[in-house]
Amino acid sequence: MDFLEAPHTQVLAVAAALVTGVTVYNTLSTSTAKVPGPWYTKWTGLVKHYHTLHANKPKWVHSLHQQYGPVVRLSPNEVSISDPKDLKVVYNVKESFIKSQFYEAFAGPHLNEPSVFSTRNRESHRNQRRLLAGAMSESSLKLLYDDIFSLAGTAIARMSEELSTRGVIDVAKWWLFYTTDTIGTLTFGSSFEMLELGKKTQYSEDLATLGKSTGIRIVFPSLFRWAAYIPGIAQIFGEAQNALIRLDGYAMTSIKRQETAEKETLFSKIIRAKDEDKMGYSELRANARSYIVAGSDTTSTTLTYLVWSICGDLKMRDRVVEEVKGLSDEFTDADTRQLKFLNCAIKETLRLYSAVPAGMPRDVPAGGAVIGGYHLDAGVTVAAQPYTVNRNPEVFPNPDEFNPDRWLHETREMNDSIFTFGGGSRICIGLHLAEMEIRVAASKFFREFPNVSRSSKEGMTPGDMDPKLMFLMFPAGGRCLVQN
């Protein structure tokens, strides 16, 4: 009792009370404090990180939207939105809400080589996009169609070989090889030969290594500076650094080769350009890496879930097969655009199985902004995630049901409620390429395998296809087996 009554103890108690009071006041007086959400999100973002590490953050965020509405607090400084009207405010063509610090994790270990995807600087993005967008336009992609068509044919041939020897096809594996070889060919002028070899190459392993380190930096952005002192983390970042050196060497060799090569690629015009239409080597290298990552896993995941979903309903499969039967052997991209039901199925796959399901964070600009009726201070992070936006029950009845027929009566509201490729000036630059690859590959697949169905061989179960939801989505089992 004497100790408790001692003057220094009383001073400490008063100081502690003041600190606690100030902390509580500051927390409860922030602009996000008035936003609906679980009580603990006023104080910490640890729960958000927990769900990120367990590959189910998009589901957790979605459950909060179902409980609290279109605007929900995820942490003391982060809010998630889902109303299309609010999306148009945040993801606008003026880029008034710039990309958050989150994207620095994609800029490479030293943060000095941002790509068109990862850069947070408006002028840098506008300049890079100006140089890159032309080659990604629908008219320019027609020049690269033959490469896509040929590689899709190779993928189908390898699937046929696997079916004859194994009795099943792992479409997840072959679609990844197809999309990686395709983006390699279109970016560098030569493929990574994954389809030819039937296995992952050093290049793809290096990409996976970089992906692992990037994932850690997304959750723990400040961890990189302490990596050398944490054995397990040090190894991951060390391997990532070695992988980056190899990738950069490959990219630079390819870029040098394209300076004189006649073959057209996504970068050839920029590489051969002069003055203001030319891009520096560091930017070319960064965008080459970005294209490979963004153009392989995402498109292959969409193709995998497209096949799996269609094979889950044999009547649906037969409708697709009947459509593609009418194609000639040397069909064009224009021909595939006329396949009404297949294109509806592709749109439904992009809606329900967005390869990027997680939030796309932006910073509230100076002066703050009103989002969903709530004033948010400058610097607050705002994000919309495709997983939730694409499941608006008012626009898509029974939103968790795979129903391509809903797109037979497509409306503007439906298109406004799809966020798979993002929005505004930062909308995915490769969306036309991805759609072309999917149309061609799916058409060839269902022509070659008209009796395809889901397989239960080798212990394959529907649980293998449960989505693991990180920044990207992928099947929990890492495979997708079908039979014909």
The two three-digit tokens of residue 112, written as one number:
């000095």
Measure Cα distances from 257 to 263, 267, 338 in Å: 10, 12, 38
Q: Using DSSP, state whether 104 is helix, strand or coil.
A: helix
381-384/362-363 β-pairing: antiparallel
Which segments of 29-96 does DSSP mark as H helices, in order? 46-53, 57-68, 84-90
Helix (H) or strand (E) holding 473: strand 473-475
Sequence-ordered list of residues with C-beta below 8 angstroms from that of 241, at least 6 positions apart, any chain: 109
Q: Using DSSP, state whether 370 is helix, strand or coil.
A: strand
Q: Between the CA atoms of 100, 103, 109 and 110, what dihedral angle is there, to the nearest 10 degrees?
A: -50
**Residue 344 marked in a binding site:** no
Residues present in the chain in total: 484
Name the residue among 366, 370, 318, 372 with its Cα closest to residue 342.
318
Q: Using DSSP, state whether 155 is helix, strand or coil.
A: helix
- As a whole number of angstroms, the distance between CA 418 and CA 455 comes to 31
Checking 181-184 for CB contacts under 8 A at 24+ apart, the result is 181/151, 181/154, 182/147, 182/148, 182/151, 182/152, 182/295, 182/437, 183/291, 183/292, 183/295, 183/296, 184/292
Which stretches of 367-445 are assigned E, i.e. beta strand? 369-371, 374-376, 381-384
Neighbours of 455 (CB within 10 A): 17
Dihedral pair phi/psi, residue 482, rounded to 5°: -130, 165
Name the residue among 270, 269, 310 with its Cα closest to residue 446.
310
Residue 136 gets which letter from DSSP? G
In the annotated binding site for heme, the residues are 428
Q: Which residues are annotated as a binding site?
A: 428
